[in-house]
Structure formats: structure tokens, C-alpha cells
Structure 1
Amino acid sequence: MSHLRHFVCSWRLFRHIKVPRVSTAVCCHGSPNSTTKRSMTVMPAWVIDKYGSNDELRFTRNASFPVINYPNEVIVRVHSAGLNPLDVSMRGGYGAASLSIKRDPLNIKQSGSEFPLILGRDASGVIMECGLDVKHFRERDEVWAAIPPWKQGSLAEFVVLSANEVSHKPKSLSHVEAAAVPYVAATAWSALVNTGGLCKDNCANKRILILGGSGGVGTFAIQMLKAWGAHVTVTCSENAELFVRGLGADHMVDYTVGPVEEQLAALEKFDLILDNVGGDMERWALNLLKPWCGAKFVTLVTPFLQNTDRLGIADGMMQNVATVATKALKHLVKGVHYRWGFFVASGPALDEISEMVDAGQIRAVVEDTFSFSQVPQAFEKMEKGHARGKTVVQISKEGDDS
């Protein structure tokens, strides 16, 4: 069954762990500055020492400098970091138990070993150092990346990443603009392409509904789908109509003027629904899909991590499998497909997105920019919700890579 295969593949991706190999990290292609960079032991960063509210955010100049442990890793000097709702959730402990398994698969470290924890899932910056096996990047290459949630984040001067998580930054974007794209782009790409089966060659004239179209994932998905020729309908508030139409949305449904279910039911049925909202919408939204035409409902609002946090890995995974299988079978008999979407870090996907950005098909949507000293204010803004685009923190000035 395809829905179960997708779910199992997503879980295998989550649990796949490499055993670290000690390697001698060198600056890309033998930079004369390599000794100096390797001798650095601390860096400035915003960290949390325990899960909780915004009060737990702490600035330090003594965060541990990232170390290359695998020969395919790179160290990036962060110019700008993008924030996502996930950062607010992780600050409060979301996914803590599950992500600790990913960080420490052999359970060698004690509970709480992830602290001090650096948040931030988007990074745009410059490569400063490479592992021995890195072939496609050089020192001072401008790159962007979406950082997996089990890794230390981008609210720091430096971050270490796998080379296959990194991509060359679009030339047409500044670092501030570029930091607004990777995490939502990778999430939307995974949901629409990997899970939804869409691509530039099969999107023409397809009808797509995006539930929650004015946030980070929604604003990216609108642009990508329109570049591929789809007809895009979104739900949002009336005061966001001009905004989403400016991104290319063909039709807007205002959830503030009446039951959104009734408004959507009056429209022609859809080939795919991307759900960024969750909650009660699942109850009726699948009725909006074309039956027996391969139509899919892909939700990014899943209980995956909540279940494994609450029940433990084994019982949580059993609950996840039972939940997704029950829902998938329930709707399959109606002729539509139910799927869970997951974020997947992918440099190759960002390579394709970079080409679309430089071709003018996708633009970065930055709602607010904060300085490195204003990280708590950036989180406060994120917690208010109803974002139209991304919140970006500028870590260092562009061109300052000494």
C-alpha cells in the first residue's frame, strides 16, 4: 500500500543514523587560514538551557564552535537565519524525546545533553571549512540550507551541516532574503513533490487548494505551483487577499466571512489539497477532492512527534502507523488518498529551487528583519502568528567573512 510505504520510508529517514567517523577537517582546498579557523573553540550564539518560554533564550559568546565529525560536512558562517513556527514549538519542548533519539541513537549521553540548544532552521551564509570528501563546494561559496531539527541551529555565528543539506544560494537574493526560503521550500517540496507526486511536467491545469496560504510554506507553495502551471486556490483572511494574489494565487477564500467549508464546497473539486492548518478541517476537506482520479490530501499538521514524545518511540510509532493507516483506508474507499507530509532536508531540491528563484519564478517573502541582538523580539513576533512571510535574523553583515 503506497500510503504505508511512504510513511515507513519517512520513518526510516528519521531514524537513519551514521556512526561518526573521526576525520581531520580541513578548510576547502587547503586555505591558508585553516589553522586559525580550526583553533576557534567558542562563538556567539543564542541558546536555551531548558525548555520553556521566551525567558529561556540566552545570549552567550561562549557557545561551542561546531566541529566536523564526518568527511562530508561543511562549516558555514551564518549571515542570516530564518525563524519558523517550529522554532517556537521546539523552544517549548516539542519533539524533545524523539529528537533526542536522533541526536544520541546509542543513548550514550544523559537526558538533557542537547543543552545548550541553538534554535533556527534556516541559514544563509558562506562556507568557511570543508570535510575531506566535500567535492561540490569551496571556501567562500555563498550557500543556503534548511537545518534538520535534531541539529544545532542557525542562531549562531557558525553551523555545521552535511554537504548534501547545502545548496549554492541564488545569486539574485541577499543573505537576508535567502534565509527566508530554505525550510519552507524544503517542506513544501517534500509535501508536494515527494508525497503529492507533483512536478513541473504534470501540474498544468491541475487544481490545487492550499489551506493556510499566507504563511511561510503557503507563500512558497503558491509561487512554485504557479510556476508549474497549476490553478491555485488558497484560504486566508480578507486582509491577506492582495498579498496572496500578488504571489500568483488564482482564487482566495476568506475564512473570516463565513463557514469556509461551505465556500469551498461550492467550487470545482481539487486534484490536491495541501493542509497547513490541521484541526477540524480534515473532517470535511477530503470531500473537496476529485474521487477516483488519484487526488491527494497532504497534511503537514500531524501527531507524529507528539505521539512519540508522549508514548515513547515504540508505542508512539505503533500509534502513528495505526492513525495514518486508519485514515488512509477510510478515505481510499471514497477514491481519494490521505498522506502525511514531512520536512526533508535536501540540497538537490534547493538547487532546483535556486534556479527557479534566479529565473524570477519565486521570490523571497520577508515580513520582518531583526538584528542578532533582537532574537527575543523576533520570537515574540513569531508567537503572535498570522504571519505573511518569514521572520529573519541578521547575524552578520554581508561581506564580513574574515
Structure 2
Amino acid sequence: MMGFLKIAVLGRNARAAGLCGRSKAARRPAVVRTISTTSPKGTVMPAWVIDKYGKNEVLRLNQNMMLPVINYPNEVIIKVHAAGVNPIDVNMRSGYGATALNMKRDPLHMKMRGEEFPLTLGRDVSGVVMECGLDVKYFKPGDEVWAAVPPWKQGTFSEFVVVSGNEVSHKPGSLTHTQAASLPYVALTAWSAINRIGGLNDKNCKGKRVLILGASGGVGTFAIQVVKAWGAHVTAVCSQDASDLVRKLGADDVIDYKSGEVEGQLKTSKPFDFILDNVGGSTEKWAPGFLKKWSGATYVTLVTPFLLNMDRLGIADGMLQTGVTVGSKALKHFWQGVHYRWAFFMASGPCLDQIAELVDSGKIQPVIEQTFPFSKVPEAFLKVEGGHARGKTVINVV
């Protein structure tokens, strides 16, 4: 089962694969260069790192982390102004996905150190381009950009980060860096589930009934807004204290999961065309039953055992177990008249271009629950680890 790794590669090469087209604004070429502009060697920066996996005490502020350099001609160095905190950061701190992610990590770094440490966490970034490789055509130093860094790369809880040019997009002009840093990872995760895997877009979504389980978190709040922008009817499942938030974002119906079994509350609803599951667990057993049968309706879950299988069983057995699991579930639901799919985060600058257009047109707004200064990264992790998110947690680095 190569699904995750295939999607990861597609994310890294999204422009070449044609998954999302560059917007007109992003197509304007940068200044042509005849030499590469790499960071001066021997300089250091502050970064929050871990030297082993564990609980929050493993987070350490390293004031002497080597400043990243451009190793490939398609890379850019970004000065980080703000960085989002996601549940995956907390999970990676504890070792989640290490077996699979180490397969993808920079072989030079792994060869020199024999391990992934010191590892900088953080996936979201909004900042300013400092330097560009020779092949970078869409950006130039001084451009304000945003990006979501793949989990096998060094992260964004640092003063500078290096990313591939096709993972970067021009920041929406209507947002501050703090606001922009709240969106890339959750937006691309939702975009992968809704658009790339679920097949919904602005041409075919109008009038469709969409159910979002776990609607008040980062992925859920973005998902509500994007399918509403495309004309869908949205039913959001969250707790009562988040109902005002999700209604403000566009949810037509809200179900409080604390007031009784969601399954029972949904029995009076019309069948759905699409279900996005951010919760997993028992929801997977009953949620697909609320889809329209034999109409192309799709259930997409973001809660999958792929990385856990590889952590627990190793590479080969983990991939085999994952393939058997997803294959058997997809076949079972196919015979019941619905589609069953898994979705993963997919890094893609071109897709962020499309999302930026939605943001600047006023159809998507960032939802930030709390911000922290760079010195308080451990406190931000504890906030996210506590769950019950009402939007995103953001670190102001500058």
C-alpha cells in the first residue's frame, strides 16, 4: 500500500503532476538570476527542537541551530514571521509516524547524524522570502509567502526554514502573517479530502449535502467555508459551545454531539452526498450509512492507521496491513452503494494559490483561537494537546 508515499510525492511535485494550476498572480516570473543565493554558512538561529521523542518536556529552545542553506535549485529560504501549531506537531513530538517519515527525510542529514535529531517541528509558515535557488521562477527575495512544510522536513518553529518552491504560494494580501499562518496545513488537508479525493469543486458542489464531523477544529472550520463557497448545504457536528462559530462560518445545520448520539440525531436528516470525518473511531461504523446510495456519494476520513501500522509493524508489514485494511473497507462500502476513501495532507503551492484567491475574495476567513509568542511554544503545544479546538493556535515568531 503506497498510498501515503504516493500522495506525499504528488504533493511535493504538484505543479508537474498538474494537480492544481498556478494562479495568474503566481505566474509572474521572479527576477532572472545567474547565480544561486545561498545562506551564509556558519550562522546560527533560534529554533525549538526535540532530541528524542516524548512528552512536552522534550521541547528545547536551541539558540545555536544552524541556519538552513539551499541544497537544491528549486528551494527557497523563508524568514518565519508566524507558524501554526497542529495536532500532528504534538503527535510527532511523541514519535508518531517516525518509521515512515524517516524514509523520506534528507538522506544527507540522516547519514551525517545517524538519526533525525535535532528535529524542528512545525508545519505552517507565513513569512518573507530571503533567498532563492536557481530554478525558482515564481518568487524573489522580499516576497511575502505562506506554505505548509511536509512532515518529513525540518519544521517552522524557527527563525528561518527552507522549502521547495512548489510548496510555496504568495500570501493572501488581505491577511496578516499571524492570520495566514493559521491556514496552510489545515487548508491543504481539507482540500486534499474534499477536492482531490472527494472530487468536489466549484463546478459540481452547488446544492449538494455535506456532513462534517469534527467541524470546529482547524480542518473543519476551513472545510465548512470552502464547500459553502461552492454552494453546498452543510451540516456540522461539534459541541454546543462551538455552534455559534460554525454557524457564523456558514453551517446550515448544527448537531451537538454532547446532547446524545449523533447517529440518532441524524436519522431525521436527508441523506448526504459527501461526508468528511475528522473524528474517526466509532463514527466510521455508522457515518457512511447516511450517504445517498448508488449516487456516487463519498465518505472520506482523515483518521487512518497508515503511519501507526508502520510504527507498530515495520515498513513492509505495515504497508501490507494498511493495503488490506483500506482495500477491504473500500470493497465493503462499494457493495453498499457508497465510496469509502482515505485522505492525507498534501503539500502544494499551486493549491495554496487557489485557496489564497478564495481568502482574498472574502469567502474564507482564518479562525484563530489563541496566539503565543515564540518563547511560549511549549505552552502552545499543551493548548493543542488538550483538544477541543475552536480554530487554530498560532506562534508569532517575529
- 1:251 match: 253
- 1:347 match: 349
Instruction: Output aligned runs, 1:64-75, within 5 Å.
Output: 64-75=66-77
- 2:21 match: none
CA offsets 1:134-187 (integer angstroms, 9 cap, x no match): 011010100000110000100000000000000000000000000000000000
Tell me how far 1:264 sits from its aligned partner. 1.2
Q: SS of the counterpart of 1:140?
A: coil
Q: SS of the counterpart of 2:116?
A: coil
Q: SS of the counterpart of 1:109?
A: helix
Tell me how far 1:38 sits from its aligned partner. 2.1
Q: For the residues of structure 1 that align with 2:118 and 2:297, how far apart are their CA atoms?
A: 44
- For 2:289, the aligned partner's letter is N
CA offsets 1:12-49 (integer angstroms, 9 cap, x no match): 2436899xxxxxxxx975699958x4245311111010
Q: For the residues of structure 1 that align with 2:153 and 2:210, how far apart are their CA atoms?
A: 33
Q: SS of the counterpart of 2:196?
A: helix
Tell me how far 1:310 sits from its aligned partner. 1.1
Q: For the residues of structure 2 that align with 1:223 and 1:29, how far apart are their CA atoms?
A: 38
Instruction: Output aligned runs, 1:89-100, within 5 Å.
Output: 89-100=91-102
Q: SS of the counterpart of 2:120?
A: coil
- Which of these residues, 362, 379, 384, is aligned with residue 386 of structure 2? 384
Q: For the residues of structure 2 that align with 1:28 and 1:58, how far apart are their CA atoms?
A: 39
Q: SS of the counterpart of 1:75?
A: strand
- 2:200 match: 198
- 2:15 match: none
- For 1:38, the aligned partner's letter is P
Tell me how far 1:266 sits from its aligned partner. 1.7
Quickly say closer, same or farther: Cα 1:268–1:78, change in 2 above 3 A: same
- For 1:49, the aligned partner's letter is D
- For 1:217, the aligned partner's letter is V
Q: For the residues of structure 2 that align with 1:292 and 1:194, how far apart are their CA atoms?
A: 21
Q: SS of the counterpart of 1:256?
A: helix
Tell me how far 1:309 sits from its aligned partner. 1.2
Asked whether 1:14 is paired with 2:8, we answer yes
- 1:83 match: 85
Q: For the residues of structure 1 that align with 2:239 and 2:346, how far apart are their CA atoms?
A: 29
Q: For the residues of structure 1 that align with 2:116 and 2:109, how far apart are their CA atoms?
A: 12
In 2, are the aligned partners of 1:14 and 1:102 still within 8 Å (CA)?
A: no
Tell me how far 1:265 sits from its aligned partner. 2.1
Structure 2, unaligned runs of 5 or more:
13-29
- 2:52 match: 50
In 1, are the aligned partners of 2:10 and 2:346 still within 8 Å (CA)?
A: no
Q: For the residues of structure 1 that align with 2:247 and 2:110, how far apart are their CA atoms?
A: 51
In 1, are the aligned partners of 2:274 and 2:299 still within 8 Å (CA)?
A: yes
- For 1:293, the aligned partner's letter is S
Structure 1, unaligned runs of 5 or more:
1-6, 19-26, 397-402
CA offsets 1:220-259 (integer angstroms, 9 cap, x no match): 0000010000001010011111010000001001111111
| C-alpha RMSD over aligned residues | 2.2
Quickly say closer, same or farther: Cα 1:62–1:108, change in 2 above 3 A: closer
Q: For the residues of structure 2 that align with 1:228 and 1:330, how far apart are their CA atoms?
A: 30
Q: For the residues of structure 1 that align with 2:218 and 2:253, how far apart are their CA atoms?
A: 18
Tell me how far 1:364 sits from its aligned partner. 0.6
CA offsets 1:40-84 (integer angstroms, 9 cap, x no match): 531111101000011011111111211211100000000000000
Q: SS of the counterpart of 2:150?
A: coil
- Which of these residues, 295, 298, 303, is aligned with residue 297 of structure 2? 295
Q: For the residues of structure 2 that align with 1:106 and 1:78, how far apart are their CA atoms?
A: 24
Q: For the residues of structure 2 that align with 1:90 and 1:144, how far apart are their CA atoms?
A: 22
Q: For the residues of structure 2 that align with 1:294 and 1:143, how far apart are their CA atoms?
A: 37
Q: SS of the counterpart of 2:151?
A: coil
- 1:233 match: 235
Tell me how far 1:314 sits from its aligned partner. 1.2
- Which of these residues, 263, 274, 288, is aligned with residue 265 of structure 2? 263
- 2:159 match: 157
- 1:22 match: none
Between 309-318 and 79-88, report the one with greater CA deviation: 309-318
CA offsets 1:259-310 (integer angstroms, 9 cap, x no match): 1111112200000100000001111111000000000000000001001111
Q: For the residues of structure 2 that align with 1:314 and 1:96, how far apart are their CA atoms?
A: 15
Quickly say closer, same or farther: Cα 1:158–1:87, change in 2 above 3 A: same
Tell me how far 1:109 sits from its aligned partner. 2.5
- 1:184 match: 186
- For 2:293, the aligned partner's letter is P
Identity %: 62
- For 2:370, the aligned partner's letter is D
